[in-house]
Amino acid sequence: MTSAIKQTISDQIVQSLTDQIVRGELQADTKLRQDHIARTFETSHVPVREALLRLEARGLAVSQSRRGVRVAPFDPADMREIREMRLALEPLALGHSVAHLTLEQRQEAEAARIACDEAKDLFTWEAQNRRFHMAIIAGCAMPRLKAEITDLQMLSARHLLATYSSAWSQREDRDHRAIMTAINRRDVETAVAVLRRHLSRLG
């Protein structure tokens, strides 16, 4: 098995487990058994171990002595730190992105905005909301910054889906529309200001 194939399988495992954790299908403290995961994906333990290490790095799993790798604890108090980090990093990334977004990238962001507004349930809305927030920073040529934001988005999504379900209702996101209007005008200052205001409202 080549390293490229291992990486592809590892990516699939990471994506699958991430989705299950974020959506609450794998609860906090659930043991992530290497044997079971390897059988599910019909692979060896090598890409499974790589995937679990990546989940730990994302803050979605923890390795505990004598207890193995488990889904990370869920603490609503963590949301304050996540919000503050997103407030610091996402406007920075957007500021470096606006001037460099291609037409195709702007179209992708607009498609995500529309899909977010049209979502009929919380899970769909969250996925499209996350898609929008990542699409608007696609022009930022800072891969480490974008990787950190991706991880924060995942953690934020996990908290949101666990705590916001009863309060969610379909609506048009005016901040998203305002951000896109500013992006299309190449108005960096306004886009960043609206995003900062938008993120400050997170619980």
Checking phi first, is residue 170 left (phi over 0); if not, alpha (psi -120 to 50) or beta? beta
Q: What is the pLDDT of residues 97-156, one digit of tens each?
A: 999 999 999 999 999 999 999 999 989 999 999 999 999 999 999 999 999 999 999 999
Residue entry with tokens 């290490």 = 53
CA atoms within 13 A on the CB side of 38: 11
Q: Rounded to two decimals, what is the model's pTM?
A: 0.84
Q: Which residues, other chains included, contact 162 with Cβ-Cβ below 8 Å and sequence gap of 6+?
A: 24, 74, 76
Amino acid at 167: A
Q: Report which of 45, 48, 73 is spatially closest to residue 59, judged by C-alpha positions.
A: 73
Q: What is the pLDDT of residues 44-80, one digit of tens each?
A: 989 999 999 999 998 899 998 888 899 998 777 788 8
Give the DSSP letter of residue 31.
B
C-alpha 173: how far from its chain's center? 18
